[in-house]
Chain A
Amino acid sequence: MKGRFIVAGIAACLCASLATADINVGVTVSATGPAASLGIPEKNTIALLPPTIAGQKVNYIVLDDASDTTTAVKNARKLIAENKVDLLIGSTTTPNSLAMIDVAAESETPMISMAAAARIVEPMDEKRAWVFKVAQNDAQMVLAIIENMTNANVRSVAFMGFADAYGEGWWNEFARIAEARKIRIIGNERYQRNDTSVTGQVLKLLAAKPDAILIGAAGTPAALPQKTLRERGFKGLIYQSSGVANSDFLRVCGKDCEAALLPAGPVLVAAQLPDSAPNKKIALDYVGRYEAAYGKGSVSTFGAHAWDAGLLLAATAPQALKKAAPGTREFRKALRDALEGVKNLTVSHGVINMSAQDHLGFDQRARVMVRVENAGWKLAR
């Protein structure tokens, strides 16, 4: 499985030795393992990134970390030591990204994570000064859900999520914000992504009679609780997390997912965005490119994070090139400074305004509420 990148790696090494001034970008994504449904579109998107920036050739060296923290760190070290990369992009998941922070800071290489948790870039410290991220924070997504719940007059909510870092992350954010907004939480159940049945958990939640249920799970495994809830006759609102935003979820869940609500990056409903949305054009451009390369309906919001990382590089590399040549410590430093100074950069998911304290830079324009209607995504207003 891991052999796939070797050819690309060798090719990249050869190029690097021929022309030392190329910009080298090291990418580690979770193209296999539990986070593969997020990592594969990211990997596919890297292949669409521009081969040159401001006349400089850019080499993308893509490694697979198999959703494994140790491998992610190993990949990051390898990319820095062997490929002398100027920028790290990755990884797909929060645990992997957190583990890579040390490597990035130690080698003074800027890093752009595509994972969701806010603690990848918060609280800002000496190490995180080298770390940026392009995926919306969980808290922003949770806030969107809670606002929607408040508007729908939901008083009591039950939570059901993965028994892993993903579910735990959503639960923590959700419990914190819901409490502040006076929504009562009356249930908290867990399941494994590979579980064949969640009847037990669902029956327990239903016995508590919540107004709404939030499912904190990613990808197709999120369909099982939704199906079981509908089977057992739950009539309330069902909210899903932003991790389900791909077409496989709709395929597996079918009619049981009708009317499910979820927060998502605007790329998911790019065509339905109002023309006034600044990122509409870029989002549509990305969707067009991705679907031209990988087939209609194949696009997901996760790949767009990789695209946004590419846009960030394209916007900042020219400034860094003025100060130093790629492959040097000075270039990496200049690139980091340029990333921190990004203002009003429109990317597919929103508008980025970085600062020394905020290495994400997204505001509320970077997420929308979406409803599942007729087996498709519909922008909810």
Chain B
Amino acid sequence: MDLQIALLLGQDGITNGAIYALLSLALVLVFTVTRVIFIPQGEFVAFGALTLASLQTGVLPGTLWLLIGLGAVAGLIDTVFALRDRQLQRIPRILGINLALPLALAGLLANIPLSSLGLPIQVLLTLAVVVPLGPLIYRLVFQPIAEASVLVLLIVAVSVHVTLTGLGLFFFGAEGSRTPSFTDASFEIGDAMIQGQTLLVVAASLTLIVALYLFFERTLWGKALRATAMNRTGARLMGISATMAGKLSFSVAALIGAFSGILISPITTIYYDSGFLIGLKGFVGAIVGGLGSYPLAAAGAVMVGLLESYSSFWASAFKEVIVFTLIIPVLVWRSLTTRHTEEEE
């Protein structure tokens, strides 16, 4: 292995690591706020990438129908609750958000020439379709069992993952898609060629991480999320709605997932079931951070990316084995160094 190969592999590892880092942040966020180990995180990556690919071929994405369907069910349930509580004034808002907005989006998508739009607009439309799925899934699946144990939440998360993967196959078919590259530029630094797309992924990931930091440090909503993560009961006593915090964290997770999918789809082919493995590697990163620390999770995820890249060079058949075996020493080390405190549930 000479220096050039090492540099190329490093570049590749950092690109993938940046995506894993984003996902690990989303996993940490969702876990600390709602105690859900969010297995379906990866599905948002696949949905984001494949929705963008559908839009670019001018086809209405299947995720749009999922959005309308989930919105209708959520709207119906909330309306029934509002009627029961005799809070009729809430109904227009409920129906507006859950029914009218998705239908308006569908109407918009059906009436504009999708494939000839500029890339930024296609990306925005993709986000508009995929991101609302996050809070809707929280509303329908996790909100009713918000007080359940971590194990129950994990099992439900697995079933959501399986359901979404099946829907992904139904919507997008078995074969993958790849979107055209955002930029064809490449730079030569010394011996190594650096692809513009790589820089874009790393820059976008860093921007998103900084934006998340500012969101948590500077905004009221971000502070509310942090408060909920630190102490759910205390936060509720201070008037922070656990439901709002849950929906918000799922929205952020869906945004990160879909955005990662959009970033990665020009680099590789994405399939309806690609998300799981990508999410799992983000999860390994999050585990390195003990599912609690953002910087450690991000560092762990980048490490996973690099490890993956170099092991694919040395022992390609054992790449996944190497990456997932890594989790064992990390867990041993963590269990030896961290004082175990039973969190009251």
Partner-B contacts on A (CB < 8 A): 1, 32, 36-37, 39-40, 163, 189-201, 203-204, 207, 219-221, 223-224, 246, 248-249, 251-252, 254
CB contacts (< 8 Å) of A194 on chain B: these are 271, 273-274, 277
Flag if B174 contacts A40 (CB, 8 Å).
Answer: yes
CB contacts (< 8 Å) of B169 on chain A: these are 1, 32, 36
Interface centre among A36, A194, A196 (most CB of B within 10 A): A196
B344 within 8 A of A: no
Which residues 152-188 of B sit at the A interface, judged by CB distance below 8 A? 166, 169-170, 173-178
Q: How far is the CA of A180 from the CA of B99 in the complex (A)?
A: 67
Flag if B309 contacts A199 (CB, 8 Å).
Answer: yes
Which among B74-82, B111-119, B228-236, B314-322 touches the partner chain? B314-322
Flag if A248 contacts B175 (CB, 8 Å).
Answer: yes
Flag if A200 contacts B316 (CB, 8 Å).
Answer: yes
Which of A192, A199, A219, A252 contacts B178, CB < 8 Å?
A: A252
Interface size class of B (residues with CB under 8 A): 35 or more
With A1-B166, A194-B277, A200-B316 in contact, is A36–B269 under 8 Å at CB? Answer: no
Pull 20 A–B residue pairs with CB atoms less than 8 Å apart, ordered by A. A32-B169, A37-B173, A190-B317, A192-B277, A192-B319, A194-B277, A195-B319, A196-B274, A198-B312, A200-B310, A200-B311, A200-B316, A220-B269, A223-B269, A224-B268, A246-B175, A248-B173, A248-B175, A252-B176, A252-B178
Which residues 277-307 of B sit at the A interface, judged by CB distance below 8 A? 277-278
CB contacts (< 8 Å) of B308 on chain A: these are 197
Query: Considering only CB atoms, which chain A residue lies closest to B273 in the complex?
Result: A194
Query: Considering only CB atoms, which chain A residue lies closest to B277 in the complex?
Result: A194
CB contacts (< 8 Å) of B12 on chain A: these are 197, 199-200
Q: How far is the CA of A196 from the CA of B17 in the complex (A)?
A: 11
CB contacts (< 8 Å) of A196 on chain B: these are 16, 19, 264, 267-268, 274, 278
Flag if B316 contacts A163 (CB, 8 Å).
Answer: yes
Flag if B8 contacts A199 (CB, 8 Å).
Answer: yes
Expressed in whole angstroms, the minimum distance between the Cβ of B37 and any Cβ of chain A is 21
A/B pair count, beta carbons within 8 Å: 102
14 new A-B pairs (CB below 8 Å) besides A220-B271, A252-B178? A32-B169, A36-B174, A190-B316, A192-B320, A199-B9, A199-B12, A200-B312, A200-B313, A200-B314, A201-B313, A219-B175, A221-B176, A251-B175, A252-B175
CB contacts (< 8 Å) of A189 on chain B: these are 316-317
Expressed in whole angstroms, the minimum distance between the Cβ of B1 and any Cβ of chain A is 8
Interface centre among B8, B269, B274 (most CB of A within 10 A): B269
Expressed in whole angstroms, the minimum distance between the Cβ of A246 and any Cβ of chain B is 7
Flag if A197 contacts B174 (CB, 8 Å).
Answer: no
CB contacts (< 8 Å) of A1 on chain B: these are 166, 169-170
Q: How far is the CA of A270 from the CA of B111 in the complex (A)?
A: 39
Query: Considering only CB atoms, which chain B residue lies closest to A39 in the complex?
Result: B174
Would you call the interface of chain A mostly helix, strand, loop, or mixed? helix
CB contacts (< 8 Å) of B309 on chain A: these are 197, 199-200
Q: How far is the CA of A272 from the CA of B311 in the complex (A)?
A: 44
B5 within 8 A of A: yes
Flag if B166 contacts A201 (CB, 8 Å).
Answer: no
Expressed in whole angstroms, the minimum distance between the Cβ of B183 and any Cβ of chain A is 14
CB contacts (< 8 Å) of A249 on chain B: these are 175
Nearest 10 interchain pairs by C-beta: A200-B312, A36-B174, A248-B175, A200-B313, A190-B317, A37-B174, A199-B12, A196-B268, A220-B176, A220-B175
CB contacts (< 8 Å) of B311 on chain A: these are 200
Q: How far is the CA of A190 from the CA of B277 in the complex (A)?
A: 17
Q: How far is the CA of A221 from the CA of B174 in the complex (A)?
A: 11
Flag if B174 contacts A219 (CB, 8 Å).
Answer: yes
Flag if A37 contacts B274 (CB, 8 Å).
Answer: no
Q: How far is the CA of A90 from the CA of B5 in the complex (A)?
A: 45
Expressed in whole angstroms, the minimum distance between the Cβ of B94 and any Cβ of chain A is 31
CB contacts (< 8 Å) of A37 on chain B: these are 173-175
CB contacts (< 8 Å) of B178 on chain A: these are 223, 252, 254
Q: How far is the CA of A207 from the CA of B6 in the complex (A)?
A: 13
Expressed in whole angstroms, the minimum distance between the Cβ of A45 and any Cβ of chain B is 15
Query: Considering only CB atoms, which chain B residue lies closest to A231 in the complex?
Result: B195
Q: How far is the CA of A199 from the CA of B308 in the complex (A)?
A: 11
Flag if A32 contacts B16 (CB, 8 Å).
Answer: no
Expressed in whole angstroms, the minimum distance between the Cβ of B141 and any Cβ of chain A is 19
Flag if B268 contacts A252 (CB, 8 Å).
Answer: no
With A37-B175, A219-B174 in contact, is A191–B274 under 8 Å at CB? Answer: no
Q: How far is the CA of A194 from the CA of B178 in the complex (A)?
A: 13
Flag if B320 contacts A32 (CB, 8 Å).
Answer: no
Flag if A201 contacts B312 (CB, 8 Å).
Answer: yes
Which residues 198-251 of B sit at the A interface, judged by CB distance below 8 A? none
Q: How far is the CA of A207 from the CA of B314 in the complex (A)?
A: 13
Q: How far is the CA of A254 from the CA of B309 in the complex (A)?
A: 25
Expressed in whole angstroms, the minimum distance between the Cβ of B58 and any Cβ of chain A is 14
Q: How far is the CA of A200 from the CA of B314 in the complex (A)?
A: 8
Q: How far is the CA of A246 from the CA of B175 in the complex (A)?
A: 10
CB contacts (< 8 Å) of A251 on chain B: these are 175, 177
Query: Considering only CB atoms, which chain A residue lies closest to B19 in the complex?
Result: A196
CB contacts (< 8 Å) of B175 on chain A: these are 37, 219-220, 246, 248-249, 251-252
CB contacts (< 8 Å) of A246 on chain B: these are 175
Mask for B252-285, Cβ within 8 A of A = 1, else 0?
Answer: 0000000000001001110101100110000000
Q: How far is the CA of A122 from the CA of B317 in the complex (A)?
A: 28
CB contacts (< 8 Å) of B274 on chain A: these are 194, 196
CB contacts (< 8 Å) of A252 on chain B: these are 175-178, 269
CB contacts (< 8 Å) of B174 on chain A: these are 32, 36-37, 39-40, 219
